[in-house]
Chain A
Amino acid sequence: MSLFAVRPDSSDSGQLVLAAILAVAGAFLLLPRPRGRWVAGGIAALLVAAVVAGLWIHRHFGEPGADWVGKLLFILFACGAVVFGTVLVAQRNPARGAIAFAFVILSTCGLFLLLAAPFLMAATVIIYAGAIVVTFLFVLMLSAANGPTGENDRSREPLLGSLAGFAFAGLVLFALNQAHATSRADQPEALRKWHGLTPLPTPLITPDERHLLAQAAEDLKQLEADDFYPPTERTHQDRAATITRIEEALGDYSVGLRSAQIEGSTEYGSIHQRLGGFRVDRPADAVLKQTEAIRKDAARVLARVESAMLSPDTAVHDEAKAAVRKLRAEVLLLAGAGELPARNTAGLGHMLYSEHLLSIELAGTLLLVATIGAIAIAHKKGAAA
């Protein structure tokens, strides 16, 4: 029985199983026990497991792209989170474990930042690293034991426990790969090359398209410059070449300027092909309308610029420039479609206090009840009186 319509190639799931087994062995060797543990062996096994799993993830989920800085930061923060998480699990001294947990939180915050969530990053640093970890360090210091104790130097079922955890992680990775392959099979042929980003539903704008749109906006900027129009020393062929380049840029990737020129043909650009049959939600609809508008506007605006190039009248030039400016704004808007708003905190606040107002109230009530509960639980009888 198959859960998914498409059965992906799972011939190398053995690699995932190998990684899980190595991780279980490493955790088993590293978890504290009274008779001492083999730290070097455990670390070596965990490292090999991490490398095997990383290679598997790399092969199935992504090709390296041009964004080296983002990739490097992601690898840094992801490795930081996993390494310090392992330290937290394997560390015998709970106070050091708490410090490692603080570093896990900081790495996670880096990932949040990469995911365009700066407010979440700040909130997490303040609440977790600033409040929770410090409070727990207090308790740890107050209850510090000297010498080996049962709670720090013994583990409960180290083999079965680590088997359960890593088997779970391996299964989730396996299921992710299945879903990934299925969503890839849903994509039109042109999008299959987006190996690394093929998503559950197809993205509104792929990074490639975004890049091309930004370039087209740069080219449009030239049309706004004064020296583009006569009387300057630029040759007419030069200007025509620029316009052709813009037409090609806007036509090639998606917006379908070129296909609009073919009479009676309903051939669309790639954005339309990708979104048309595959997404019916409101954002996709908006993007389709935007591309449609740009397609029409671009044909109109470029024709106007071409006629303005021939006339020496500066008023005509100014009109053409204004039209180009408007088109450029539209192109830039389309390039940013599907991105989170740049004003993250403002957007989050607006969302919280408009759509999730009741949840805010409930969360506040929960915090109040938790405060009262904590006081009631920890209260020593007769101590306050």
Chain B
Amino acid sequence: MIGLWHYLAVAAILFGLGLVGFLTRRNLITMFLCAEMMLQGVAINFAAFARYHGNLTGQVFVLFILAVAACEAGIALALILVLYRRSKTLDVSAWQSLREVGVPPTIDLEPLPPPPEELADPVLPPAGRMPPSAKEAAHV
């Protein structure tokens, strides 16, 4: 029988995974999705407790989480758009000049691998001469 504790354990693991993603990834959108995953973990907690206590308050809470997540998505999307317009990248490290005084900057030492070579456009051989054709005999 699956009980309350199993749901709480799954929620904790989901929250931890989201935390890992939020801390380590540098793409703004991936970070946002990881934060949403943490919210999902919390929502599972609420729903499990609602089921366990036999009243709907936990589910109401999850509904409000959904509303706040929708707001958050709208604002985050707008912010990401503005940041992308300014720096032409989704990398958070592009904004590390906003860090606190005294914190050393992050410097990427390892070079990125070269981009994959683009395939050249296919070149067609030049067309041959126009085949000789019998002059049309037109007798008008």
Contact check, B91 vs A150: say whether CB atoms are below 8 A apart. Answer: yes
Chain-A contact segment, one of B70-78, B97-105, B119-127: B70-78
Residues of A within 8 A of B63 (CB): 120, 123, 348, 352
* Residue of B with least CB distance to A172: B12
* Residue of A with least CB distance to B110: A34
Contact check, A101 vs B36: say whether CB atoms are below 8 A apart. Answer: yes
* Residue of B with least CB distance to A371: B74
Residues of B within 8 A of A180 (CB): 5
Contact check, A340 vs B1: say whether CB atoms are below 8 A apart. Answer: no
Contact check, B40 vs A104: say whether CB atoms are below 8 A apart. Answer: yes
Residues of B within 8 A of A94 (CB): 27, 29-30, 90
**When chains A and B are docked, how far (Å) is the Cα of A374 from the Cα of B78?**
5
Contact check, A33 vs B59: say whether CB atoms are below 8 A apart. Answer: no
Residues of B within 8 A of A215 (CB): none
Contact check, B60 vs A85: say whether CB atoms are below 8 A apart. Answer: no
**When chains A and B are docked, how far (Å) is the Cα of A157 from the Cα of B113?**
19
Contact check, A168 vs B112: say whether CB atoms are below 8 A apart. Answer: no
Q: Write the A117-154 contact mask toward B (1 if CB under 8 angstroms, else 0).
A: 10110011001100110011001100101111111111
Contact check, B69 vs A127: say whether CB atoms are below 8 A apart. Answer: yes
Q: Does A70 contact B (CB under 8 A)?
A: yes
Contact check, A156 vs B26: say whether CB atoms are below 8 A apart. Answer: yes
Residues of A within 8 A of B131 (CB): none
Tell me how many residues of A have a C-beta within 8 Å of chain B.
112
Residues of B within 8 A of A101 (CB): 33, 36-37
- Chain B contact residues, majority secondary structure: helix
Residues of A within 8 A of B111 (CB): 34
Q: How far is the CB of B99 from chain A (nearest CB, A)?
A: 12
Interface size class of B (residues with CB under 8 A): 35 or more
Chain-B contact segment, one of A158-166, A256-264, A309-317, A324-332: A158-166
* Residue of B with least CB distance to A19: B13
Q: Which of A60-116 contact B (CB under 8 A)?
A: 60-67, 70-71, 74, 78, 81-82, 85-86, 88-89, 94, 97-98, 101, 104-105, 108, 111-112, 114-116
Q: Does A367 contact B (CB under 8 A)?
A: yes
Residues of B within 8 A of A114 (CB): 2
**When chains A and B are docked, how far (Å) is the Cα of A377 from the Cα of B30?**
21
Chain-B contact segment, one of A196-204, A228-236, A244-252: A196-204
Q: How far is the CB of B67 from chain A (nearest CB, A)?
A: 4
Question: Which of A62, A165, A199 is close to B19, meaning CB atoms less than 8 Å apart?
Answer: A165
* Residue of A with least CB distance to B15: A169
**When chains A and B are docked, how far (Å) is the Cα of A180 from the Cα of B4?**
10
* Residue of A with least CB distance to B33: A101
Question: Which of B9, B18, B32, B73 is close to A57, meaning CB atoms less than 8 Å apart?
Answer: B9
Residues of A within 8 A of B82 (CB): 377-378
* Residue of A with least CB distance to B28: A151
Question: Which of A119, A338, A377 is close to B78, meaning CB atoms less than 8 Å apart?
Answer: A377
Contact A173/B9 with A101-B36, A340-B50, A347-B56 known, Cβ cut-off 8 Å: yes
Q: Which of B2-24 contact A (CB under 8 A)?
A: 2-10, 12-21, 23-24
Contact check, A366 vs B108: say whether CB atoms are below 8 A apart. Answer: no
Contact check, A74 vs B80: say whether CB atoms are below 8 A apart. Answer: no
Contact check, B24 vs A155: say whether CB atoms are below 8 A apart. Answer: yes
**When chains A and B are docked, how far (Å) is the Cα of A62 from the Cα of B14?**
19
Contact check, A108 vs B15: say whether CB atoms are below 8 A apart. Answer: no
Contact check, B29 vs A136: say whether CB atoms are below 8 A apart. Answer: yes
**When chains A and B are docked, how far (Å) is the Cα of A135 from the Cα of B29?**
11
Contact check, B93 vs A156: say whether CB atoms are below 8 A apart. Answer: yes
Q: How far is the CB of B35 from chain A (nearest CB, A)?
A: 11
Q: Write the A341-385 contact mask toward B (1 if CB under 8 angstroms, else 0).
A: 100100110011000100100010011011101110110100000
Residues of B within 8 A of A147 (CB): 114-116
Q: How far is the CB of A379 from chain B (nearest CB, A)?
A: 9
Q: Please name 18 pairs of A and B residues whose Cβ atoms are closer than 8 Å in the assembled complex, sorted by A.
A: A27-B24, A34-B108, A61-B6, A64-B1, A66-B1, A78-B6, A88-B17, A136-B29, A151-B92, A161-B24, A164-B23, A172-B16, A198-B3, A199-B4, A340-B50, A340-B55, A371-B74, A377-B79
Residues of A in contact with B (beta carbons under 8 Å apart): 27, 31, 33-36, 53, 57, 60-67, 70-71, 74, 78, 81-82, 85-86, 88-89, 94, 97-98, 101, 104-105, 108, 111-112, 114-117, 119-120, 123-124, 127-128, 131-132, 135-136, 139-140, 143, 145-158, 160-162, 164-166, 168-170, 172-173, 176, 180, 196-200, 203-204, 207, 283, 337-341, 344, 347-348, 351-352, 356, 359, 363, 366-367, 369-371, 373-375, 377-378, 380
Given pairs A161-B23, A196-B5, A370-B72, 20 additional interface contacts (CB within 8 A): A60-B5, A61-B5, A64-B1, A74-B2, A82-B14, A88-B33, A97-B30, A120-B43, A124-B66, A132-B36, A148-B115, A152-B27, A153-B113, A154-B108, A154-B110, A155-B24, A162-B24, A166-B16, A168-B15, A199-B3
